[in-house]
Amino acid sequence: MKVSTRSIQRSPGLLLLAAVIAVPVHAQDTHYAPLSQQIPPPVCLTMRGVKEGPYIPCTALNYHEWLTDITHWRAERRIRIGYDASRYELPALKWTQSSFMQPQMMVHDRYFYDPVAGKYTVDRYLDDVDKRYGGIDSVLIWATYPNMGIDDRNQHDMVRSMPGGVEGLRQMVADFHRRGVRVLFPMMMWDQGTRDPGTSWPDAIAEFMKQIDADGINGDTQDGVPLAFPLAADKVNHPLAFEPEGGPHDEALAWNVLTWGQYQFQFVPTVDKYRWLEPRHQVNIQGRWVRDKTDDLQFAFFNGEGWESWENVWGIWNGVTPRDGEATRRVATMERAVAPFLTSQNWEPFYPMDMYGVFASRWPLEDQTLWTIVNRNEYDVNGRQMTVPYRDGMRYFDLYHGVELKPVQEDDMSVLAFATEAHGYGAILATQGDPDAQAQQLMAKMKLLTAKPLASFSHEWEPLTQKMVEIRPSKTSSSTPEGMIRIEASDFLFKVEGIEIEGFNDVGVDVQYPWEDDPRRFHESRVQIKPFYIDKYPVTNAEFKKFLDASHYHPKDDRNFLKDWKEGMYPDGWANKPVTWVSLEDAREYAKWAGKRLPHEWEWQYAAQGNDGRRFPWGNCDWLAPIVSGGPLACPWENDPKDAPAPTPDKGRVMLSASDVDAHPKGASPFGVMDMVGNVWQWTDEYIDVHTRAAVLRGGSHYQPYGSIWYFPQAYKNDQHGKLLLMAPSYDRSGALGFRCVKDAD
């Protein structure tokens, strides 16, 4: 596009814009260099301020120059990257081209698995998304972060820990396939601190995905999945669709057939670079934290692509509003029905429209043409909207409203008039004669859907409230039971912070205590502590063995139960180590047998902290943090770590065993409670909302996998806690997680 010198002199803004678009990218000439994943729109579509002169609509010549420029860029770019489109022809991967709606689904979602019944509930999950926003085409099943790193299970171990193991996973995937939904799992190239898989990651991933019959892989934090991964999948005769989180480098477009769209939004839509280079490349726009999905959906529909309908974000619910849900249903319904058009190699973004703020893409296919339209205005638009060349016998159908349009002929042009809702959508089909059966079915369905305007649906976002699961009081005792310490009643300032890696302080992050209105990260409240007894040490292997021998307890879901034990017995020398690989349910059964209960978190913290505000049970000396940060030790026992208050953190790929519970006597709390921090995490309260269960863990552990910020973070300080997302006992158990009990006092 040419920008006149006179125009530049009139407008400093245009001068800056001209300078920006004149800079070549990778030495390739274009006036519209992609900005990350997005190709800018024609300059003339940018509305100027009053001082820059009146708004001047784009002309047909403006559009033609812009389209010519980016078309030339595409042709040259394909040559520069040696583009090979053969992977898009593979029958096994054709499904990606119509995979418009794809949530990232946490395995902890209560609609996906029922721990009481002990079964996957795929139909319940799919029925819910069908009801709320019209269903999905594929699903990314997420079992790893943020729990991964609590012990040395690697990313595949975490998936295999799901109920039923490999066989259960394969059946669960088959349940999705039965409903026409494709299944992806993630891979984390940053997972180099946990157990080594024993083979190359490309081979490990290919073999595992073949075992469970999965369809694709999402490359977490990756800007393009390397070619070695699809080649490994091909080698085992199980092609996989690879979907990097970030846009792939352009050459990798040939084997990364899916991508997330990480967009910056503006009023005028942008063109997706990867979609423009290869219209068969599917992009799912991802905006996990935004609460208004209008931008995501409109940019997706304009580009003929999809949306990452992600609501359960690391256990934090960011659900779609009724208005966004209905908009999603309508967009998905249209895109699925017209999917062949949306891979047209002759796609023309920004087809000239008559109304300001209404933008269209033209998708020709053989002797038919489709336009996908978005109204970016905050008001309804009605009347003359499109002018197209007159063609004898051509008929035009408003697919969105399900009616035929009657064009008005003006010379050699046909004028189309129709309505578009505020922040709404439109789709026009041009065809000779009657529309085919599929188009007629779509029109009938859309006519019913659009009888009610989008504006009539609520657009108000609401967080989910949580409830704390009740811990029933134990039988009271008037004297201190053996192995326990009495904690007297007190008025306690309970102050604690959740240490989740993501979520900032948004409502919905962390947990909601009974005295709070909603979940939040930072908590502070005066709590009246009733007298209670607390175990001096965490429950040991020897003590848990007595429970098993006396009660003959064996969990229904026994995968990973006492994983370190062999033939019902703990290893030699482990009698006094804390028992681990026990679920919250296992711990509750032990406590019930012992006439005790699990502690509320504030009871645990008071036993660790008392009323002097100390940072750690032993005082304010930071034994653990300097090892993480590299700072100097400031503890009196720094020259003799054997005399330290907690174990030295273990950073190996294979997790070592925990210390004996009495190995660090200088770690005692002000009440004399031992081994509270730095050896094994300890179960306390459970919280639930409609979609997620989570447990508050206290004390941190000795295990710190090295090399990534994304592993489960440690909470060593008295005013910090960890939040573990719960799914099922097999998955929840951990080699770095134990428990201690309390008993109510008279």
Condensed to tens digits (0 to 9), the pLDDT of residues 397-418 reads 999 999 999 999 999 999 999 9
Cα distance between residue 476 and residue 296, in whole Å: 57
CB-based contacts of 485, cutoff 8 Å, min separation 6: 533, 534, 535, 536, 607, 671, 672, 673
pLDDT for the residue numbered 1: 31
- Mean pLDDT within 20-43: 76
**Residue in the block written with tokens 């120059």:** 65
What is the average pLDDT value for the chain, to the nearest integer? 93
In the chain, the percentage of residues whose pLDDT exceeds 70 is 94
How is residue 277 written in tokens? Answer: 């280079």
pLDDT of residue 570: 98
Count how many domains the chain has.
2
Quote the pLDDT of residue 6.
30
Checking if the pLDDT of 250 tops 80, the result is: yes
Give yes or no for residue 638 having a pLDDT over 90.
no
* pLDDT at residue 636 in the model: 73
Measure the CA–CA gap between 37 and 263, rounded to whole angstroms.
Answer: 7
pLDDT tens per residue across span 549-597 = 999 999 999 999 999 999 999 999 999 999 999 999 999 999 999 999 9
pLDDT at 247 over 90: no
User: d(Cα 487, Cα 599) in Å, to the nearest integer?
Assistant: 12
Q: What is the CATH number of the domain that holds 555?
A: 3.90.1580.10
Asked if the structure places residue 442 within a domain, the reply is no
Average pLDDT over residues 609-623: 92
C-alpha distance from residue 136 to each of 99, 129, 308, 513, 675 (Å):
8, 7, 10, 34, 48
**What does residue 68 show for φ and ψ, rounded to 5 degrees?**
-65, -40
182 within a domain of the structure (yes/no): no
Average pLDDT of span 5-20: 34
Q: Is the pLDDT of residue 420 over 70?
A: yes
Task: State percent of the chain over pLDDT 90.
Answer: 89
CA end-to-end span of the chain, whole Å?
Answer: 84
Asked if pLDDT for residue 2 goes beyond 50, the answer is no
Gap between the Cα atoms of 286 and 282, Å rounded: 13
Domain contains 668: yes
| Residue whose C-alpha is closest to residue 741's, from 594, 477, 535 | 535
Confidence of residue 447 (pLDDT cuts 50, 70, 90): very high
CA–centroid distance for 678 within its chain: 30
Q: Among 19, 51, 80, which residue terminates a domain?
A: 80
Summarize the confidence of residues 639-648 as an average pLDDT: 82
Tell me how far the alpha carbon of residue 727 is from its chain's centroid: 16
pLDDT in tens, 318-361: 999 999 999 999 999 999 999 999 999 999 999 999 999 999 99
Q: With beta carbons less than 8 A apart as the criterion, state whether 623 and 550 touch.
A: no
Q: Does 5 or 547 have the greater pLDDT score?
A: 547
Q: Is residue 443 part of a domain?
A: no
Tens digit of each residue's pLDDT (9 = 90 or more) over 219-236: 999 999 999 999 999 999
Q: Within a domain: residue 382? A: no
In a domain, 565, yes or no: yes
pLDDT score of 368 more than 50:
yes
Extract the runs of DSSP E, i.e. beta strands, from 62-210.
104-106, 113-114, 119-120, 138-142, 182-188
Confidence of residue 635 (pLDDT cuts 50, 70, 90): confident
Query: Residue 24: is its pLDDT beyond 90?
Result: no
Q: Which of 51, 80, 109 is the last residue of a domain?
A: 80
pLDDT value for 640: 72
Structure-model confidence comparison of residues 414 and 2, the more confident one: 414
Q: What is the pLDDT of residue 58?
A: 87
| Domain edge (last residue) among 80, 107, 142 | 80
Q: Is 338 inside a domain boundary?
A: no
Q: Which domain holds residue 651?
A: 467-744
Q: What is the mean pLDDT of residues 160-168?
A: 98
Confidence (pLDDT) at 402: 98
- Tens-place pLDDT, residues 486-520: 999 999 999 999 999 999 899 999 999 999 999 99
When pLDDT is cut at 50, 70 and 90, the band that residue 7 belongs to is: very low
